[in-house]
C-alpha cells in the first residue's frame, strides 16, 4: 500500500482503491480487521454493487469476515440504502457493502455500517485501521467458523418499506411516466420495480448489471442520454442513480438537468407540508449552497444545521437532533427521515413522483419558479490530501477578516458571493464551488480562487 493509505485508510465514505493496484491480500486483511473489531459471533449482512472488480474481492471479503468469527449473511447484489435499512430492521450487529459508489469503474471499495444502519463514524474506522496496520487479527478455530447463509429477503423487505412511505392510491391514479437510469448497477433491482408497482409507466436505460455505459457519477455531463430520452418520450421526469443507488439526480419534463441541492429544496419543502409534525430543520453538508437554503428554507422558518461532507455526518447529526425534515447533499444524496436517516436514491425517486402527483404543475414549472444563484463547481487534481490542506491554509490566510466556516475545507462568506474549497475524502481532488446571485461576480471570484490554488 502507498504511504498515504497507510496513514489514513478510511475516507468520507469507506475504503476505496483501484482494484489491480493493491496487493491481493489487502482486502483479506481489511475484512479480517473489520470482523476483529466486533465480538466473535457477531451477525453481519454483506452485499455488493454491480462493479466488475467486485468479482475479484467479494468472496475474499466474505471469507475474511467468517475467518475472524462473524456469522455472515450474504445479500448479494443490493443497493447500499437497502442493505443499511435491513441491517437495522433485522438486528444485525453490523453490515459491509462492497462498493466504490460513484468512483470510476476501475475502483472498488468497502463500506462499514453499524447496527443502526448508518456508516461507521471516524472513531470506529480508526479502530479498524489500528487492527489492520498492527496485525492484531483474531482468527477463530476451524470448528468455530460459522456457515455463510444467503439472505434473499432484503430487497423485498426494503421495497415494501419504501411503498409504505407514500400514498400508493394517489400515485396509481395519476399514471406518471418516468425514465430511470440505473447506471448498469444495483438500483435496477429497486427503483424501476417500486415505481411500476406504484402505477407509474417506467422506461429504463442502463438497466443491466454489467460494465457501465456511462460513468457511475450522475452529472450534467454524464446524463445527456437521459435528458434527451426524457424529452423525446414526453416523460414527467427522469431519475439517475450512482453505482450503489444511494444518490438520485433528476431531469425535468423538458429534459433539463436538476442539481441535487435544487431537488433537495423542493423535496424538503414538500416533506414539511406532508409531515407537519417533523422538527422544522434540515441537516446538510457544508458543500450545499448557502444562498439557496437562505432563500428557500431559512426564509420559510426551517432551520439549517451544517455538517462536514459525508452522509454519515448528516445521518448521525439527524439522530443526535432527534429527527429532521430531511438530510441532503448537493450531489443528489437525500434522506427522507421517516423512512431512514441515510441517503436513499430509490426512496427519493418515489418521493419526487408523489410530489408531482400532489402538484398541479410540471416539474419544469416548479424548478423554473425557484430563484437560483449562479453556482460554478470544479474538480482540480492534486497529488495528496496534504497538498489540499496546504491550499486551504493559503486561502484562509488570503481571506482572513472574512466570515469563514472551516468545519470541512474552507468556506468564505460575503454578501455578494460564497465559495468552498475542500479536499475530497474519496479521491485525489480539490473540490471548488463558487456561488453568487451575479454571474460576473462568481466568475471574478473563481479566477481569484484559482489563482491562489495554482500558485502552490
Positions marked active-site: 101
3-state SS of the chain: helix, strand, coil percent to 5?
40, 25, 35
64 close to 30: Cβ distance less than 8 angstroms: yes
287 close to 309: Cβ distance less than 8 angstroms: yes
CB within 8 A of 422, min separation 6: which ones? 286, 287, 309, 388, 392, 408, 409, 410, 430, 431
Which cell goes with 401? 477578516
Taking the C-alpha atoms of residue 358 and residue 354, their distance in angstroms, rounded to an integer, is 6
CB within 8 A of 298, min separation 6: which ones? 304
1 close to 34: Cβ distance less than 8 angstroms: no
Taking the C-alpha atoms of residue 145 and residue 67, their distance in angstroms, rounded to an integer, is 6
Helix residue spans in 248-407 (DSSP H): 260-274, 290-296, 311-321, 345-358, 363-368, 385-398
Buried (b) or exposed (e) across 116-132, using 16+ Cβ within 10 A? Answer: bbbbbeeebbebbbebb
How crowded is residue 264: how many other Cβ atoms within 10 Å of its Cβ? 29
240 close to 212: Cβ distance less than 8 angstroms: no
Q: Identify the CA nearest to 81 among candidates 318, 323, 312, 249.
A: 312
Amino acid at each position: 500500500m502507498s504511504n498515504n493509505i497507510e496513514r489514513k485508510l478510511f475516507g468520507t465514505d469507506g475504503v476505496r482503491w483501484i482494484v489491480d493496484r493493491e496487493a491481493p491480500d489487502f482486502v483479506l486483511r481489511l475484512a479480517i480487521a473489520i470482523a476483529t473489531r466486533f465480538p466473535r459471533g457477531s451477525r453481519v449482512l454483506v452485499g455488493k454493487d454491480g462493479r466488475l472488480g467486485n468479482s475479484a474481492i467479494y468472496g475474499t471479503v466474505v471469507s475474511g469476515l467468517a475467518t475472524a468469527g462473524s456469522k455472515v449473511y450474504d445479500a448479494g447484489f443490493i443497493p447500499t440504502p437497502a442493505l443499511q435499512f435491513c441491517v437495522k430492521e433485522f438486528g444485525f450487529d453490523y453490515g459491509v457493502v462492497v462498493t466504490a459508489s460513484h468512483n470510476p469503474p476501475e475502483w472498488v471499495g468497502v463500506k462499514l455500517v453499524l447496527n443502526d444502519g448508518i456508516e461507521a463514524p471516524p472513531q470506529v474506522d480508526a479502530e479498524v485501521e489500528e487492527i489492520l496496520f498492527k496485525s492484531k487479527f483474531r482468527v477463530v478455530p476451524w470448528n468455530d467458523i460459522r456457515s455463510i447463509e444467503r439472505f434473499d429477503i432484503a430487497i423485498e423487505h426494503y421495497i415494501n418499506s419504501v411503498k409504505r412511505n407514500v400514498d400508493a392510491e394517489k400515485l396509481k391514479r395519476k399514471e406518471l411516466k418516468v425514465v430511470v437510469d440505473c447506471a448498469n448497477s444495483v438500483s435496477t433491482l429497486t427503483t424501476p420495480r417500486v415505481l411500476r408497482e406504484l402505477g407509474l409507466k417506467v422506461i429504463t436505460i442502463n438497466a443491466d448489471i454489467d460494465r457501465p455505459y456511462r460513468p457511475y457519477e450522475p452529472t450534467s455531463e454524464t446524463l445527456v442520454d437521459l435528458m434527451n430520452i426524457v424529452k423525446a418520450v414526453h416523460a414527467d421526469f427522469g431519475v439517475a442513480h450512482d453505482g450503489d443507488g444511494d444518490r438520485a439526480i433528476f431531469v425535468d419534463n423538458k429534459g433539463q438537468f436538476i442539481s441535487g441541492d435544487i431537488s433537495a429544496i423542493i423535496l424538503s419543502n414538500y416533506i414539511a407540508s406532508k409531515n407537519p409534525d417533523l422538527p422544522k430543520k434540515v441537516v446538510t453538508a457544508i458543500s450545499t449552497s448557502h444562498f439557496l437554503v437562505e432563500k428557500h428554507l431559512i426564509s420559510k422558518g426551517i432551520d439549517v444545521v451544517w455538517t462536514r461532507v459525508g452522509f454519515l455526518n448528516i445521518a448521525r447529526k439527524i439522530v443526535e437532533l432527534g429527527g429532521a425534515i430531511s438530510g441532503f447533499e448537493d450531489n443528489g444524496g437525500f434522506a427522507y427521515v421517516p423512512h431512514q436517516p441515510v441517503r436513499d436514491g430509490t426512496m427519493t425517486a418515489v418521493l419526487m413522483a408523489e410530489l408531482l402527483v400532489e402538484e398541479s404543475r410540471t416539474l419544469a414549472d416548479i424548478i423554473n419558479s425557484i430563484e437560483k444563484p449562479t453556482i460554478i463547481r470544479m474538480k482540480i487534481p492534486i497529488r495528496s490530501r496534504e497538498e489540499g490542506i496546504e491550499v486551504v491554509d493559503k486561502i484562509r490566510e488570503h481571506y482572513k477578516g472574512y466570515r469563514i466556516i472551516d468545519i470541512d475545507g474552507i468556506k468564505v462568506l460575503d454578501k455578494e458571493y460564497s465559495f468552498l474549497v475542500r479536499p475530497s475524502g474519496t479521491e485525489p481532488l480539490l473540490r471548488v464551488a463558487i456561488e453568487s446571485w451575479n454571474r460576473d461576480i462568481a466568475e471574478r471570484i473563481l479566477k481569484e480562487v484559482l489563482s491562489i490554488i495554482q500558485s502552490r
